Structure 1
């Protein structure tokens, strides 16, 4: 049986993984969103490319979730 402190540290690590991944995604999407809006304002045909560029930073959160799940379930 693992000590309670060890389980607590694993939970904190998982929380930090998701929190920092979310923070990084927010920062990335703010810059990409502004650029995508400018791109669409100049040429309406580039809307699809702008949407794809907005979806790419979301993968960062998925990586954070995977790391947190690995920390939590592989105690």
Structure 2
């Protein structure tokens, strides 16, 4: 296999690992945050609006990690910075 083929394989594998790990972490974090928020609401129903607002802000911050992983994955697949280098060395 030529060098450009190895770059393609490495890019796809890197993107798959990035999305795999990048989706598992935030999913676990969001699940734990929701469980704690529901437990807090069950204990103090008067503070529901404050707990819910804080929960949504926290979940947005946790979800941003998954979004960053998605962006890195899209860069690796569609805008890989190594493609130009290998195409120029291959004479393409």
Compute the displacement of 1:2 (Å): 5.3
Unaligned runs of 5+ in 1: none
**Relative to 1, partners in 2 of residues 1:50 and 1:40: Cα closer, same or farther, differing over 3 Å?**
farther
Q: Residue 86 of structure 2 corresponds to which residue in structure 1?
A: none
Q: Is the 8 A contact 1:14 1:67 kept in 2?
A: yes
Question: 1:8-67, CA deviations, whole angstroms, 9 ceiling, x for partnerless residues?
Answer: 111110111111100111111121111111233312232222222223211111110121
Cα-Cα RMSD: 1.9
TM-score for both structures, normalised by structure 1: 0.80
TM-score for both structures, normalised by structure 2: 0.68
Matched residues, number: 75
1:71 aligns with 2:76: yes
**Relative to 1, partners in 2 of residues 1:54 and 1:37: Cα closer, same or farther, differing over 3 Å?**
farther
Matches within 5 A, 1:1-75: 3-41=4-42, 42=44, 43-46=47-50, 47-72=52-77, 73-74=79-80, 75=83
**Following TM superposition, where does structure 1 have runs of at least 4 consecutive aligned residues deviating by more than 3 angstroms?**
none
Unaligned runs of 5+ in 2: 84-92
**Relative to 1, partners in 2 of residues 1:13 and 1:5: Cα closer, same or farther, differing over 3 Å?**
same
